[in-house]
Amino acid sequence: MLRAVERGEEALLDVRDLQVAVGPPRRSWLVVRGVSLQVRAGEIFGLLGESGSGKSMTVQAINGLLPPGARVTGGSVRFDGEELIGNSSRRLAQLRGDRIGMVFQDSLTSLDPIMQIGPQVAEPLLLHDKASRREARSLVAERLRAMGMADTHEAVRRYPHEFSGGMRQRAAIATALIGTPSLLIADEPTTALDVTVQAQILDICRRLNQELGAAIVLISHDLGVLAEICTTIGVMYAGRIVQTGPTRALLEHPNHPYTRALVESMPRRSGSRGVRLKAIGGEPPAPDALPDGCKFHPRCAYAIARCVEQEPTLTWVGETRSACWVAQAGALPPLAETGPVGLTQPAADGKPATTRDVLLTATDLRHYFAVPGERLFARPRQLRAVDGVSVELRRGDTLGIVGESGCGKSTLAKCLLRLIDVDAGRIEFMGRDITRLAGDELRRIRRHVQPIFQDPYASLNPRRRITEIIAEPLIVNGFAADEVASRVQQSLDLVGLGGRLGSRFPHELSGGQRQRVGIARAIVLRPALIVADEPISSLDLSIQAQIINLLRDLQQRFDLTLVFISHDLRMVRQLCTSIAVMFLGKIVETGPTEEVCARPRHPYTGALLASVPELSFSREPRSRTLLAGEPPSPLSPPSGCRFRTRCPSCRNHCASNEPQLVAGADADHRWACHFPLATENAPIMQVAE
Amino acid sequence: MSGVAISGNAVVAGRSLLRRLSAVVRLVPNAEFLVGVVIIGIWTVLIAAAPVITRYGPLNQQIRLRLQPPSAVHWFGTDQLGRDIFSRVCYGGRESFPAAIAVVAIGFLIGVSLGAIAGYRRGVVDDVVMRLTDMFLAFPLIVLAMAVAAALGASLSHGIIALAAVWWPSFVRVSRALVLDLSNKEYVVAARAAGRRPAGILFRVILPNALPPLLVMAAIDVGRAILSFSILGFLGLGAQPPQPEWGAMVSAGAAVMDDWWVALFPALPILTLAFAFNLIGDSIRDALDPWVGGRR
């Protein structure tokens, strides 16, 4: 006879009013403030939230794996009818790895570095005496194959550090699934991975869910990722679930202003460039200083008096449950059809590109790193990080450089900034050859080209106040004291950091504020060119849209030329007039953004576009061409076309002949492929069968 | 806004150093730190006020009263020549204490400059500096110092030179490692992109960030230097008789072990000061190191 859980009458995982507190006993505060969620057998439940929303703490409490200093202070967690809160640690250990599998974000630290992959994957089986060594071995091979690892004989003998991030995450998922658990908890499993690999891993999760019937709780900060595979989504904000329901209903009727803002701030495929993203103002509250009433009301555009006084609870609104007084009263206006609103001026006042002057021309740039040989006395090898890249920028251009990790995009940025020397090629900037400039001459050029860095924590000197940090470029370049003071204040105002923040130290600021300081420092000299290397990738989703809007505003206001480097095609598409796609040190396709995105010709561009998680409003999973495998090592790129080992349309010709960039009908759109994608049949345009 | 120092570089640097030190002191209100400060404070007062609080000159011999045990008149007793040990300990500190600080200060300046330049320039400069440092580190510190002191001839100033000459290598190692690490920080790259000169980057951006751990190391080293200086004195290679010096006094007292006070009281400041500087260094390090601090 089937049990109630199996008949689907009772939830497999039933969390009720869970509370988690951190901090010293007398002065503790709640980071999870009464979370209830039900996951049925075979369901994929997505838990969405920004950093500090309590999503990780929630699942760690479910698992009994809370970090020291955090403790459950109330509520219940029933797994398959059994209470987990207060249960013995021995019983919890029995369940973990056997009935509940767990996958962490960082596979490099979650796998034991001195244990081979095979024994590591098999460990849960052996710990729970579920299989003999021989059975375990064959099951490990089977699971690894299901993860898409071809040579399992080879793989089981490897150590984690010998694997790429994607392969490690596969091994970690295989470990979590080896005991055929009925529940898999995955905490940001794809956040550290490239988009093409992320798409593969999500695909695997969906397939395993169907084949093994394991329910999955997937945690992510990226609504796109959850929308791809989840059946149900719970949106967390400030320690509570603020809206939950079936994925499609939630996306179509985001009946909570926070969910709505997230949906609206996601760049859409249909959304065109030059349009402001609808960003949420402000920042998420700190868990130890929550506002009264609804915790979202300070950032909410629809807040009414009641929101300030009383915190709403989850109540059915349509097909989902929402914790919002306005939505519960039916007063939330329907979702605008177009998504982002408010057209702004097209870049550079719509002047045709060719009439603007050329600001920077880089010709055939190369930068090689020497990597020590693998064996003693072996000759050092060359890593061709940038291998023959040419770029032309006109004043007011916004160029997006896209590619996966290791493709050389950051090295190219450093070359353009002249922070590292180029090994070959030529950079002409403002009509001057700056390739070999050094000393004072180079320093005089520097004020015209400024960087914005990825990590807003590492890029600000921790021992200087914000005003001193922004003033540094001015003082170094010999500006007078009163000029410095006024320019610093002006820059602070421009990036939206007025008030008294200037006298603070970087550690007193949030990530978003710090990145604004980084931008203020970059614009304070009024440079002609700004090179931004992944400026938003370490920020929360709601903050990313703010920063993109800020960059766009500044770019238009000062007619800046902007090189925007990112792995996130969605954001590049929002901001940039043209795109260059890099693969293993080379540009494989470049052209106007709309053209490249609508009619990609290089298979890699097509695959990148297909891998980007999107909000889809159709019930069917969209069919798409996913890339197999991972980028080859830049130490030994394949002969001929470098992409051929991953290319779905590779032929013999590709192995021996390296394709050059060729132009299509539109001379600006160029690609390096012998067998380009047909223009009518771009994979992103395909509809589900 | 007007209160923020962006008016001049020197003002900024001076203020930020003050701010940093005061921040460090505010960070460590713990018992260890206070005990260390109190011990050092007591000895500093005794040493500084020696002419006022002592009744006998340090060289005053009263042969009749030789080897008197501690009493109300001679608090620490008298030595073989009838000199008041309390006076000699207080006056002795006027040699050992400043000498130890001088040794660390000279070693710090030489070591940190060499280490910073090696770590920042890398390449040949780095190789030369580091191999030289390795050569010095290969010998036990005190043996090398003895050799230098013996070659120069025994005297207080030669003792300082001898110790300073062997003290710098450890600062080179640590400061080079810190500079290497900090050079890759993005805010250092940002300073380059802003157009700072290499010297400005090294001294205005990198070194201020490397300073806290180096200062901790220096604090602990003052204690070690007092010990080392006393060892030189004990071996007869430091200050010469009849000048009072703690190590030399312990050495003299060792000859008359039955009269325990002669060796014990000069040893007291050596022990307690070394201990106090260690306490202070440790507590500052704990306060600066988030890991150790978090576990307490």
DSSP B143-164: HHHHHHHHHH-SSHHHHHHHHH
Model confidence pLDDT, tens digit, residues B122-163: 889 999 999 999 999 888 888 888 888 888 888 888 888 999
Q: Residue A499, SS3?
A: helix
Distance of alpha carbon A488 from alpha carbon A484, whole angstroms: 6
Q: Residue A680: its pLDDT value, please?
A: 54
Residue A330's identity, in one-letter code, is G
In the 8-state DSSP scheme, what is residue A354? G
Tell me if domain A42-59+92-230 and domain A347-448+529-685 are identical in fold. yes
Model confidence pLDDT, tens digit, residues B187-199: 999 998 988 889 9
Tell me the average pLDDT across A646-657. 85
Domain segments of chain A as ranges: 42-59+92-230, 256-328, 347-448+529-685, 452-526
- Average per-residue pLDDT for chain A: 84
Distance of alpha carbon A399 from alpha carbon A531, whole angstroms: 10
CB A379 within 8 A of CB A403: no
Residues 6+ apart with CB under 8 A from A64: A84, A87, A89, A92, A96
Q: Residue B44: its pLDDT value, please?
A: 92
Residues 6+ apart with CB under 8 A from B289: none
Tell me the average pLDDT across A667-684. 74
Confidence class of residue B23 from pLDDT cuts 50, 70 and 90?
low
Residue A2 has pLDDT above 60, yes or no: no
Q: Give the DSSP H/E element, type plus range, for residue A485.
A: helix A481-494
In the 8-state DSSP scheme, what is residue A337? T
Q: Å from A561 to nearest chain B CA?
A: 17
Tell me the average pLDDT across A17-29. 86
Residues of B within 8 A of A463 (CB-CB) are 16, 20, 208-209
Distance of alpha carbon A587 from alpha carbon A598, whole angstroms: 18
Distance of alpha carbon A667 from alpha carbon A444, whole angstroms: 35
Q: Mark yes or no for CB contact B197/A443 under 8 Å.
A: yes
Nearest to A320 by CA among A231, A239, A238: A231
In the 8-state DSSP scheme, what is residue B206? I
How far is CA A368 from each of CA A387, A453, A634, rounded to the nearest angstrom? 8, 22, 10
Lowest mean pLDDT among A136-150, A328-342, A616-630, B208-222: A616-630
Q: Residue A347: its pLDDT value, please?
A: 43
Q: Residue A657: its pLDDT value, please?
A: 86
Distance of alpha carbon A615 from alpha carbon A266, whole angstroms: 8
Model confidence pLDDT, tens digit, residues A352-388: 556 688 999 999 999 998 887 777 777 778 888 899 9
Distance of alpha carbon B113 from alpha carbon B116, whole angstroms: 5
Distance of alpha carbon A563 from alpha carbon A395, whole angstroms: 11
Confidence class of residue A6 from pLDDT cuts 50, 70 and 90?
low
Model confidence pLDDT, tens digit, residues A449-494: 999 998 888 899 988 889 999 999 999 999 999 999 999 999 999 9
Residues in B whose CB is inside 8 Å of some CB of A read: 1-9, 12, 16, 20, 185-187, 189-197, 200, 205, 208-209
Model confidence pLDDT, tens digit, residues A272-293: 555 677 777 788 888 778 888 8
Residue B272 has pLDDT above 90, yes or no: yes
CA dihedral B221, B222, B223, B228 (to 10 degrees): 80
pTM: 0.80
Q: Å from B21 to nearest chain A CA?
A: 12
CATH of A42-59+92-230, one of 3.40.30.10, 3.40.50.720, 3.40.50.2300, 3.40.50.300: 3.40.50.300
* Residue-range domains of chain B with CATH: 11-63+74-295 (1.10.3720.10)
Q: Mark yes or no for CB contact A463/B192 under 8 Å.
A: no
- Sign, CA dihedral A431-A433-A435-A436, equals negative
Picking from A446, A471, A484, the nearest residue to B193 by CB comes out as A446
Distance of alpha carbon A334 from alpha carbon A574, whole angstroms: 24
Picking from B189, B194, B208, the nearest residue to A472 by CB comes out as B194
Residue A327 has pLDDT above 80, yes or no: yes
A347-448+529-685: which CATH topology? Rossmann fold (3.40.50)
CA atoms within 13 A on the CB side of B248: 22
- Average per-residue pLDDT for chain B: 83
- Reply yes or no: is the peptide bond before residue B242 cis, omega within 30 of 0: yes
The fraction of chain A above a pLDDT of 70, given in percent, is 91
Phi and psi at A679, nearest 5°, equal -65, -35
Q: Residue A683: its pLDDT value, please?
A: 44
Q: Residue A630: its pLDDT value, please?
A: 74
ipTM, 2 decimals?
A: 0.75
Residue A622 has pLDDT above 70, yes or no: no
More confident residue, B106 or A267: B106
More confident residue, A541 or A256: A256
Q: Å from B37 to nearest chain A CA?
A: 26
